[in-house]
Chain A
Amino acid sequence: MSFDLTSNPFRAGLPKSRSVDPCGLVIFGGTGDLAYRKLFPALYRLHAGGHLPRGFVIVGYASQRLEDESYRIEVKDALGKYGPRTGLDGPTWESFARMINYVQRNDEVVPSLRRLKGRLDALTQGMLCCRNYLFYLAVPPFMIEPYVLGLGQVGLSEESPNAWRRLVVEKPFGEDLESARKLNVILHGVFREDQIYRIDHYLGKEAVQNILVFRFANQMFEPLLNSSNVDSIQITVAETVGVEGRGGYYDSAGALRDMIQNHVLQIASLLCMEPPTSLDAEAVRDAKTELLRCIVPVAPGEVDRVSVRAQYSAGLVDGIAVPGYRDEPKVAADSQTETYAALKLTIDNPRWRGVPVYLRTGKRLAKRVSEAAILLKPASWSSFSSGVDLRGNAIAIRIQPDEGISVRFVAKVPGMDIRIEPVHMDFRYFSGFAEGIPDAYERLLLDAMLGDTSLFARADATEIAWSICDAIRDAWETMGTPLYPYTPGTWGPREADEMLANEGRRWRLL
């Protein structure tokens, strides 16, 4: 019997069923905020957990004048701030530091990338098998095109049997449908779609991944998820922070583009999609994309009934005075950009026809909380309905903080009378499992190295999401939809409450 070489026979039964090929990771924007705050802490934890392959190399690529050693010191400082709260483990840091290298970018893109290629070849010379490279574009959108074209020009996008090449792109994936298509044309000019990993860190969150398991591995939930039982769906992604130094970018984006086009619609598609034919990456992405196709575009005549846009004014958050949005740095004094958006979407398919999907997101809201809630219709048996709170059952998936699932139902209050009150049954990850929750970037970086695209956005899905948002934006412009003010530290403008009240519903109090 000769070995079946498609799999490693020694892996059977081991906790790590998937292993990363020896590879190199290049971080474009290696001295940037994203690299220091998110990528290096995630890589350190992956290394500490034994997930990085032997011979793994990291190359930071940026314009700052640094050597390998001085770059390692910067990374160590960053890990001190954003890494494990318990501090760095000496031997783990030492071995991690040995992986870190630095290449300085010059003004000329292509010659710089040639030097990068030379360095990569030298660093991976000792690898017995392969020259696999993952390129992470942690750079502003305008730098994506020159880097992608440059990588193609110097041959770093070309694959061979023992050399894969993958590209990670951070959002925003364009700023509207047209620019998203243009970006995809650029990316596809150099990389195949299966080499491209569009990262939406929300999809790396444990609670978001759990939506699949919650829906399809539990007989008690999935049969309820249809228009016969569900009254409505609410998805909330609320932040307490303002634009946090990103005023320039945010003022050209707004809540619709910054949050709804990606995070919120991705959550909605996972929550509402039909069962995928398998857990294979393409099958899951097909199911999500199909759901997005079923979302009915908002018509201009409808837009004021099904959406609210608003902007925060000056006020207090947690007792601290905060400026109004128009007083934030790099924000136009007469800015018409929304920092809050609430929408009602409808899904035109047999499962969800007639079930409104309410979405809201905003900055400077009352709490930092993200959740997707399924609100069921009230119980049909009417004997209990006299004078008691018979709000329907609710199933809420908390994405952050306190990841978990909460189920609301009613119970009899102990006593001689039949008195009914709503109660909550809570599952929380932090108390349900001893294992810590990996950071979203840990999971997504590992998946990109493993070649698993399940949790990354596909070109067609991003384009459909843009077309949904573009229709709303165009309608806002056509109809002159007002931009309401809202007070920081609240749940947004009164008009958003009225939007639901007009349909006999209300937002969940989170």
Chain B
Amino acid sequence: MNDQHFYTISQPADIASIRSALGHLYRKAAATDDSPVPVVRPTMLNIIVYSAEYYSLVETESVVNDVIAQLPARTVIVDSSLDSASGSKAEVALMCSVDDRGERRLCGDSARLATQGLGAEVAGLVTPLLEADIPTYLWIAGKPAQCDEQLIALSALVDYVVIDSRCYDCFNDALNGMSRYGRNTSVLDVCWASLMPWREGIAQHFDPPGVRPLLNAITEVEVLYEPLTDGSLPIAPLLLVSWLVERMGAEIEEASRADDGLVVTGRREMSRFVLKMTGCGCGLGQGDLVAVVIRCTGAGFATSRDDANCSRVHSLGGPNTQIHRVGAPSLQEHSKLIAYILRNPSDEVFSSSIAVAARLAAKAGL
């Protein structure tokens, strides 16, 4: 159950008006007669949203509204397409939701600021709106320009920079983006967040101590994905393969493009194994992961997306193969992914997996 309160004010850079408008919205929400639960006003984090070309601003705002309904935050949307000098209106909004026990109406708020024509001084506009002493995130929605003064200034204000590596043309571009805007902060990746259910599903196969000896008998790992129309390799499966290599403690010997994906040969101690990325059409979104199969001597472990329904998935279950289905979000479900990232900012294996992905990309000439 969500309810929304919008209020529009006319002074784009008048911080006092924005604060006053937010106060008005909270009072209005608290006075809503039809809600049996009280409005609670915690602010867990600040999110600065910078909308670049990948998402439209409308889509970005929709994601923000979904996110702040799940996770009470102060959100400042920096809209560089709106002219700050022409008297355009800034907008504030409040989004409230009842928690899953039906007990409390948590509210998050957002203020959208017009910043066209501004440079580094955007920091002076945003800073007074941030709540003190709580984690602050900069979500770059889309692929930003090579050198964006506003972004560089905003990234200096925050603890975490959230990018989406899928928005970049290739993995190396994404790496450059991470190093440019995340120089002094921790970088988080929406695409990496989308892998969490897959990692959890794969991990569950090997949770029982009795199964773990099979980790030493892995011979082949195959990652199935929905191909991109331009034939390039999507980043999500590449990151998952890199994570598997990293977690298996393997060395990459060779990596080469195949017709329908990528083939990697790796070595652990004296044993060799093969890692394949294979494109297959299962009717999911472009770049989405479809299934992961880990084949060991005498057993197999398959993890597939629960809504994947195609012959490749049906044929996963060979003899002695356990199949888990995971409810992984589609790469298009941005608000789920953003909310997940904001809840779980630290992930000790992200940077080491990114390093493996960089080596893999270099070997395969991606």
Contacts and interface: CB of A to CB of B under 8 A. Distances in A.
Nearest to B215: A3
A430 B106 CA distance: 10
B42 A85 contact: no
A12 B41 contact: no
B210 interface: yes
Interface stretch (B114-122, B179-187, B343-351): B343-351
Contact of B207 (A8, A86, A162, A432): A8
Contact of B211 (A12, A53, A85, A129): A129
A2 B216 contact: yes
A16 B207 CA distance: 12
A39 B249 CA distance: 41
Interface residues on B, range: 35 or more
A434 interface: yes
Nearest to A132: B208
A10 B203 contact: yes
A116 B329 CA distance: 40
Given A5-B212, A8-B207, A130-B208, A86 B42 contact: no
A432 B322 contact: no
A434 B44 contact: yes
Given A3-B216, A14-B196, A431-B41, A436 B207 contact: no
Contacts of B343: 15
B58 to A, nearest CB: 26
A130 B211 CA distance: 9
B102 A9 contact: no
Nearest to B344: A15
B212 A3 contact: yes
Interface in B81-140: 98-104, 106
Contact of A19 (B71, B199, B203): B203
B202 A10 contact: yes
A403 interface: no
Given A5-B212, A86-B102, A19 B207 contact: yes
Interface string B185-201: 00000000000100110
Point out which of B41, B72, B207, B344 has the most chain A C-beta atoms below 10 A from its C-beta: B207
B70 interface: yes
Given A54-B204, A128-B208, A162-B210, A434 B71 contact: yes
A21 B322 CA distance: 16
Interface string A116-147: 00000000000011100000000000000000
A13 interface: yes
A30 interface: no
Interface string B56-86: 0000000000000011100000000000000
B101 A84 contact: yes
Contacts of A53: 204, 207
Given A13-B349, A86-B101, A21 B70 contact: no
A434 B70 contact: yes
A433 interface: yes
Interface residues on A, range: 20 to 34
Interface in B226-271: 247-249, 268-269
B325 to A, nearest CB: 10
B324 interface: yes
A431 B44 CA distance: 9
Contact of A11 (B99, B207, B215): B207
Contacts of A85: 101-103
Contacts of B203: 8, 10-11, 14, 19
B209 interface: yes
Point out which of A10, A14, A86, A128 has the most chain B C-beta atoms below 10 A from its C-beta: A10
A430 B104 contact: yes
B17 to A, nearest CB: 26
Main secondary structure of the interface of A (DSSP, over half): loop
Interface in A160-180: 161-162
A431 B107 CA distance: 10
Nearest to A23: B208
Interface string A89-133: 000000000000000000000000000000000000000111000
B213 interface: yes
A24 interface: no
Given A129-B211, A162-B210, A436 B101 contact: yes
Given A12-B349, A86-B100, A430-B104, A129 B200 contact: no
A53 to B, nearest CB: 7
Nearest to B99: A436
A15 B207 CA distance: 14
Contacts of B72: 434
Given A86-B100, A434-B44, A19 B248 contact: no
A8 B206 contact: yes
A22 interface: yes
Contacts of B269: 1-2
B42 A436 contact: no
A441 B346 CA distance: 28
A327 B41 CA distance: 46
Contact of B196 (A5, A15, A433, A436): A15
Given A1-B249, A85-B102, A13 B324 contact: no
B208 A22 contact: yes
B215 A130 contact: no
Contacts of B350: 13
B209 A434 contact: no
Nearest to B40: A431
Contact of A9 (B101, B215, B322): B215
A16 B344 CA distance: 11
Contacts of A84: 100-102
A162 B207 CA distance: 12
B247 A12 contact: yes
A20 B204 CA distance: 9
Nearest to B207: A19
Interface string A352-395: 00000000000000000000000000000000000000000000
B40 A21 contact: no
Interface in B36-57: 40-42, 44
Interface string B328-353: 00000000000000011001111000
B244 to A, nearest CB: 8
B215 A162 contact: no
Closest 6 CB pairs of A and B: A129-B210, A85-B102, A129-B208, A10-B203, A13-B349, A13-B347
Given A5-B212, A10-B206, A13-B348, 12 more contacts: A1-B269, A5-B216, A9-B248, A10-B202, A13-B350, A22-B208, A54-B204, A85-B101, A128-B322, A161-B210, A434-B106, A436-B101
Interface of B: 40-42, 44, 70-72, 98-104, 106, 196, 199-200, 202-204, 206-213, 215-216, 247-249, 268-269, 322, 324, 343-344, 347-350
6 contacts: A3-B215, A8-B206, A21-B207, A430-B40, A431-B40, A434-B71
